[in-house]
A and B are shown apart, each in its own frame.
Chain A
Amino acid sequence: MSRATGLRYRRRRATDVVAKVLGVAATAFGLFWLAWILIVTLRNGLHA
């Protein structure tokens, strides 16, 4: 594998990893808020 090819491969791989990490982080962020909203709703509803 030539140096330029290796560099391009590493760049593509890095972009892929960054995109996947951002995607997982966004999913975790959304699920956290969803869980929080559900927990607060259930807790307040059960206390009422």
Chain B
Amino acid sequence: MCPGIGPLFRGPPLGIGMLTAGIVLGIMVIPFISSVMRDVFRTVPASLKESAYALGSTTWEVVWQVVLPYTRSAVVGGIFLGLGRALGETMAVTFVLGNAHQLSASLLMPGNSIAATIANEFTEADSDVYLSSLIALGFLLFVVTFIVLAIARLMLRSLARKEGR
């Protein structure tokens, strides 16, 4: 067993677990992020790109040295928007996460997410404490999402300051 990453992959690969949910979420947010990126890249003035090509730049150099620096803050913002969507994703995660109320170090083990717990148990909440607990979980999810988006906003602000805007 590999000492560094061994505990992350301990246990039988059942196909249902945190790794599967992560892969599914990662694939799910790609179209959202790529559509945002497409719109962002279209905002780059053609004169900038054509100037770089006229100076002899290759396509990769135009992308890396002209397009990406021009759109850096929007690219980071788009990625964090995708992350925000992944954080709130419910049903796809519920189907593949395993819905086990335990925190395991292994990514192959089933787990649970806040949104999946609320979706699974809201109709079963037969007491006031149970219902209040689920609503508190919803509030916790709101706080986590708020913190992530606030960090994204701060990162964008620092990037804009670095660019001198």
Binding site secondary structure of chain B: helix
A27 to B58, CA, bound (A): 20
Residue in A20, A30, A33 whose CB lies within 8 Å of B60: A20
Contact: A12 with B61, CB < 8 Å? yes
| A side interface size, CB within 8 A | 8
Residues on the B chain within 8 Å of A16, using CB: 58-61
Contact: B60 with A15, CB < 8 Å? yes
A19 to B57, CA, bound (A): 14
Residues on the A chain within 8 Å of B58, using CB: 12-13, 15-16
A8-28 at interface with B (beta carbon < 8 Å): 12-13, 15-16, 19-20
Residues on the A chain within 8 Å of B61, using CB: 12, 16
A20 to B23, CA, bound (A): 25
Residues on the B chain within 8 Å of A15, using CB: 58, 60
Residues on the B chain within 8 Å of A19, using CB: 59-60, 63
Q: Which residue of A lies closest to B34 (CB)?
A: A30
A20 to B101, CA, bound (A): 45
Shortest beta-carbon distance from A35 to chain B in Å:
14
Residues on the A chain within 8 Å of B155, using CB: none
Residues on the A chain within 8 Å of B30, using CB: 30
B29-64 near A? 1/0 per residue, CB < 8 Å: 010000000000000000000000000001111010
Shortest beta-carbon distance from A19 to chain B in Å:
4
Residues on the A chain within 8 Å of B63, using CB: 19
Shortest beta-carbon distance from A16 to chain B in Å:
4
16 CB-based A-B contacts, threshold 8 Å: A12-B58, A12-B61, A13-B58, A15-B58, A15-B60, A16-B58, A16-B59, A16-B60, A16-B61, A19-B59, A19-B60, A19-B63, A20-B59, A20-B60, A30-B30, A33-B27
Chain B residues engaging chain A, CB cutoff 8 angstroms: 27, 30, 58-61, 63
